[in-house]
């Protein structure tokens, strides 16, 4: 039997799922809303974790941040799996072309040796730092509360992994697997990286998911990306003729700009929730900023020399502007 279903006009019985109508009124819901709101189990959790019997399986008290409703922490990009994956696949296409072009035209081979050494010794070891960021965001996704907050942290973690892999490819282009071995030695032994490595190992021991979110995503990356990619790669090295490196780190620059909007929005909403939240956030920013600034300064000093402090001042100013918009102050106590 041939039936033409398109010609049938029927009135839907309802516009959306109950929990979305309760939140947003009686209207059709977006795919972001359907895929994000209230999808974490909330009630009648059966057992206490054997690894942490003092807490529930999903437990907002793992953090010092308190929210009446964690689902207010929405992602302004409205990323759900599909929109996230399609966005990144497009960026990956562009990155692939950039890497292909750099390889086929031997762009990195044209650079002078001191510059190649600087890229090797400052940039490539950051693949390990990106891996640390991946660990930390995976933690926030695992232990944070509410799907709306934790979901983008998983995407962020995978982005961190991708960045580690783009830096790895940059190293492979520079000097094959030797570059990776040299970068790992720098990461584990070179004095310029030890402040950062110590900070990341310390962060990996922080078990308050929101504090980790603040320390890694807002503070550390909020200084590291503007200094390394914004200033060193895009300005200093480009002026020295290495705009090819900027081509190969384009993803990182775009990604930092895009993800900052999400991070700032989460911080702003959490800070606006209560004076107590604001104070806790302020305390975390004050605690982690000097350590992050010192770590970033140490790692870029071999490349920036006496301009290092000015670079950090600029980055801290940028971070200060972001903090100001979220309702927090940049000043440490």
- Choose which of 62, 119, 162, 242 interacts with another protein (CB under 8 A): 162
Under DSSP, the state recorded for 57 is: S
Q: Which stretch binds another protein (CB under 8 A): 115-123, 150-158, 267-275, 284-292?
A: 150-158
Q: Are 277 and 270 in contact (CB under 8 A)?
A: yes
HEC string of 148-165? HHHHHHHHHHHHHHHHHH
How far apart are CB 138 and another protein at their closest, in Å?
4
How far apart are CB 213 and another protein at their closest, in Å?
14
Nearer to another protein, 57 or 321 (CB): 57
Q: Are 66 and 274 in contact (CB under 8 A)?
A: yes
Q: What are phi and psi of 78, to 5 degrees?
A: 55, 45
Nearer to another protein, 56 or 307 (CB): 56
Nearer to another protein, 83 or 274 (CB): 83
Alpha carbon of residue 35 to chain centroid: 21
Q: Are 141 and 157 in contact (CB under 8 A)?
A: yes
Which of positions 89-118 make contact with another protein (CB under 8 A)? 89, 92, 95-96, 106, 109
- Choose which of 27, 51, 68, 333 interacts with another protein (CB under 8 A): 51
d(CA 98, CA 104): 10
d(CA 305, CA 317): 20
User: What dihedral angle (degrees, nearest 10) is formed by the CA atoms of 263, 267, 268, 271?
Assistant: 180
Number of residues that bind another protein (CB under 8 A): 90
d(CA 105, CA 332): 48
Nearer to another protein, 25 or 324 (CB): 25
Q: Which stretch binds another protein (CB under 8 A): 38-46, 59-67, 286-294, 324-332?
A: 38-46
Q: Which residue has the tokens 């690894």?
A: 51
Q: Does position 135 bind another protein by CB under 8 A?
A: yes
Under DSSP, the state recorded for 87 is: H
Nearer to another protein, 88 or 278 (CB): 88
Q: Are 124 and 187 in contact (CB under 8 A)?
A: no
Q: Does position 143 bind another protein by CB under 8 A?
A: yes
Q: Which stretch binds another protein (CB under 8 A): 194-202, 223-231, 274-282, 295-303?
A: 194-202
Which of positions 268-327 make contact with another protein (CB under 8 A)? none
How far apart are CB 292 and another protein at their closest, in Å?
15
Q: Does position 82 bind another protein by CB under 8 A?
A: yes
Q: Which stretch binds another protein (CB under 8 A): 200-208, 225-233, 238-246, 268-276?
A: 200-208
Q: Does position 26 bind another protein by CB under 8 A?
A: no
- Choose which of 61, 188, 243, 279 interacts with another protein (CB under 8 A): 188
User: What dihedral angle (degrees, nearest 10) is formed by the CA atoms of 227, 230, 232, 236?
Assistant: -140
């Amino acid at each position: 039997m041939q039936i033409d279903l398109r010609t049938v006009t029927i009135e839907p019985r309802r516009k959306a799922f109950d929990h979305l109508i309760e939140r947003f009124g009686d209207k059709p819901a977006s795919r972001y809303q359907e895929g994000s709101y209230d999808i974490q189990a909330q009630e009648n959790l059966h057992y206490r974790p054997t690894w942490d019997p003092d807490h529930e399986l999903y437990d907002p008290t793992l953090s010092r941040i308190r929210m009446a409703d964690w689902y207010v922490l929405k992602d302004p990009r409205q990323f759900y799996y599909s929109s996230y994956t399609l966005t990144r696949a497009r960026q990956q296409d562009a990155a692939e072309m950039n890497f292909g072009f750099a390889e086929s035209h031997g762009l990195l081979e044209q650079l002078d040796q001191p510059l190649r050494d600087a890229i090797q010794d400052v940039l490539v070891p950051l693949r390990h730092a990106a891996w640390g960021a991946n660990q930390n965001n995976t933690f926030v996704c695992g232990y944070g509360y509410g799907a709306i907050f934790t979901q983008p942290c998983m995407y962020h973690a995978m982005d961190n992994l991708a960045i580690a892999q783009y830096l790895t490819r940059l190293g492979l282009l520079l000097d094959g697997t030797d570059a990776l071995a040299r970068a790992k030695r720098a990461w584990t032994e070179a004095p310029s990286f030890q402040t950062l490595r110590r900070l990341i190992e310390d962060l990996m021991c922080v078990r308050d998911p929101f504090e980790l979110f603040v320390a890694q995503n807002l503070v550390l990356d909020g200084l590291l990306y503007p200094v390394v990619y914004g200033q060193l790669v895009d300005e200093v090295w480009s002026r020295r003729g290495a705009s090819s490196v900027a081509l190969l780190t384009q993803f990182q620059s775009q990604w930092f700009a895009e993800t900052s909007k999400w991070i700032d929005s989460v911080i702003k909403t959490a800070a606006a929730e209560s004076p107590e939240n604001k104070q806790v956030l302020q305390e975390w920013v004050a605690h982690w900023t000097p350590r992050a600034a010192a770590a970033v300064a140490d790692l870029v000093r071999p490349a920036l020399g006496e301009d290092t402090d000015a670079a950090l001042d600029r980055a801290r100013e940028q971070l200060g502007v972001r903090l100001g918009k979220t309702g927090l102050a940049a000043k440490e106590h």
